[in-house]
Structure 1
Amino acid sequence: MAKRKDSKTKTKTVKKTALKSKKASKAKDVPAVADKKNKDEAEDKEKSKTEQRIEDNLILISQEANKKARWYVVHVYSGHEKKVAEALRQRTETLHLLDKILRVFIPTQDKIQIRRGQRRTVSEKIFPGYILVEMEMTDNAWLAIRTTEGVTGFVGMSSRPTPLPKSEVEAIMKYAEQSDTQYKADFVDGEAVRITDGPFNDFLGTVDNIDEERGKVSVLINIFGRETPVELDFLQVKKV
């Protein structure tokens, strides 16, 4: 009887230990699950912002289907890309060319800009002064675009504009869809700056190298009578 009691006691102890171990394992998993959830939510938010940016810059002029339509590059006044796209949309409707001119795309990417110690996200044009137009190249469609205010001409080697290869269009759109936000420097090599944070706070120096991908800048400062490079975040530096 004593042996049977001992056996039952051991079995209960093993079960309790296993249960405790299982609970402890679940408790350990909770932070990992929470981290994954937060990461997924952040990625979804970033993806949503990117999709919204693409949607804002892909101007649908017409829903007409046209198998002859191709993408062309149009040169416009820099900074007037959106204005030209809107003017082109209106002209297409007025001139009844909705079956010829379909879409306008202004490729952009989000960049983090550091200015006066403040961080903000800006949408930067990948090809300033250029827009992509999906259209069937007819005389009337060409004339409508060419005479739109703000347009300086089509890009092409000959008198007749050359359409972009499909592979190039896909590459440009894929590049614009990238959601990894890069930094944009507000200063240039050789520029005088003041360090505003960290062990070298209030030191004056000159910009030696800029790494926009990492948001880092190398600044030459005078230590012990010689110029020494120190790497800093964009937020730690201000123009003098």
Structure 2
Amino acid sequence: MIRLSGRSALADEAAKEAPWYVLQVMTGREQAVCDALTECGAEALSPTRKGPKRRRRHKVLPPQDIPLMAGYVLVRFAMSETAVSALLGFEHVRGMLGGWLSPFALENDRVVRIMQKAGDGRFDWERVPKIVVVAGERVRIGEGMFAGLEADVVTPNNRGKGDVVVEVDMFGQKTPVNLPLAILEKL
């Protein structure tokens, strides 16, 4: 019951330069979680990009917006025990990156840059990057929420555009993440 009653704590306005936190959500439910958080008064973002063109019955369908980082939503709120507990009560929320006691925080200007670049189309599916990666290769994540972290390529993309699966060493464990090829840099 505290989780539902604590949702009003999410409406407490955070400072203008307050950090953003990364919520882990069920894949495909990023926008639903964003909408629910916004409805409660919290600031929530799910950066999007243009997805691949699709074909259906010999017709080319226009690309749809897809999440930049599948399974993650950015949220900013006035940090309190009640507010963090309320986040647990949202449907499709699986956890907070870094844990509830010491969450992973992103600076506000970094989130602004991510949103600008996503809006400019720099992460779009059809954008052809300058690198080609193979399985087992070590790469650095150059943009986005995980910028600066190193990763191992698990599933490369032989088309030269789109997404690849990498394993990122975060918080002492390897975590597989589906990332756009456009944000990776070779080491």
- TM interval, shorter chain, is 0.5 to 0.7
Q: Which residue of 2 aligns with 1:108?
A: 48
Aligned partners of 2:76, 2:68: CA distance in 1, in Å? 18
Aligned to 1:66, the other structure's residue is in SS state coil
Within the alignment, does 1:70 sit opposite 2:24 as a pair? no
User: Residue 118 of structure 1 aligns to which amino acid in structure 2?
Assistant: K
Paired with 1:158 and 1:148, the residues of 2 have a C-alpha distance of 14
1:166 is aligned to 2:108: yes
Aligned-residue CA RMSD (Å):
3.1
How far apart in 2 are the matches of 1:134 and 1:154?
12
1:139 alignment partner, one of 46, 64, 81: 81
CA contact (8 A) 2:13 2:77 kept: no
Using structure 2 for the length normalisation, give the TM-score: 0.53
Q: Distance in 2 between matches of 1:81 and 1:124?
A: 10
Equivalent residue, structure 2, for 1:152: 94
153, 169, 175: which is aligned to 2:117? 175
Does structure 1 residue 118 correspond to structure 2 residue 67? no
Is the alpha carbon distance of 1:165 and 1:84 closer, same or farther for their aligned partners in structure 2, counting shifts above 3 Å?
A: same
Q: Distance in 2 between matches of 1:85 and 1:123?
A: 15
Indicate yes or no: 2:76 matched with 1:127: no
**3-state SS of the aligned residue for 1:142?**
helix
Cα deviation per residue 1:193-227 (whole Å; 9 max; x = unaligned)?
Answer: xxxxxxxxxxxxxxx941337xxxxxxxxxxxxxx
TM normalised by structure 1 equals: 0.43
Q: Which whole-Å deviations, capped at 9, do the CAs of 1:44-89 have from their partners, x for residues lacking one?
A: xxxxxxxxxxxxxxxxx96956347321100011111122223323
Asked if the contact 1:78/1:128 (under 8 Å) is kept, the reply is yes
Shift of 1:176: 1.1
Structure 1, residues 136-169: CA drift from partner, whole Å, max 9, x if none? 2111111111221111111126722132123431
Hey, which bits of structure 1, 4+ residues long, moved more than 4 A? 61-65
DSSP-derived class of the 2:87 partner: helix
Which is higher, the Rg of structure 1 or of structure 2? 1
Query: How far off is 1:135 after superposition?
Result: 1.2
Kindly tell me the number of residue pairs found equivalent between the two proteins.
121
- CA change 1:63–1:123 in 2 (3 A) is farther
Which amino acid is the alignment partner of residue 46 of structure 2?
A: I
1:24-43 alignment runs, 5 A limit: none
More helix by share: 1
Specify the SS of the correspondent of 1:212: coil
Kindly state the Cα deviation for residue 115 of structure 1 after the two structures are TM-superposed.
1.9
What amino acid sits opposite 2:108 in the alignment?
A: K
Rounded Cα–Cα distance in structure 1 between residues aligned with 2:37 and 2:27? 16
After superposition, the Cα gap between the structure-2 partners of 1:159 and 1:118, relative to the gap in structure 1 and judged at 3 Å, is same
Structure 2: stretches of 5+ with no match in the other structure: 1-9, 128-156, 163-187
What is the letter of the counterpart of residue 76 of structure 1?
V
Bigger shift: 151-160 or 72-81?
A: 151-160
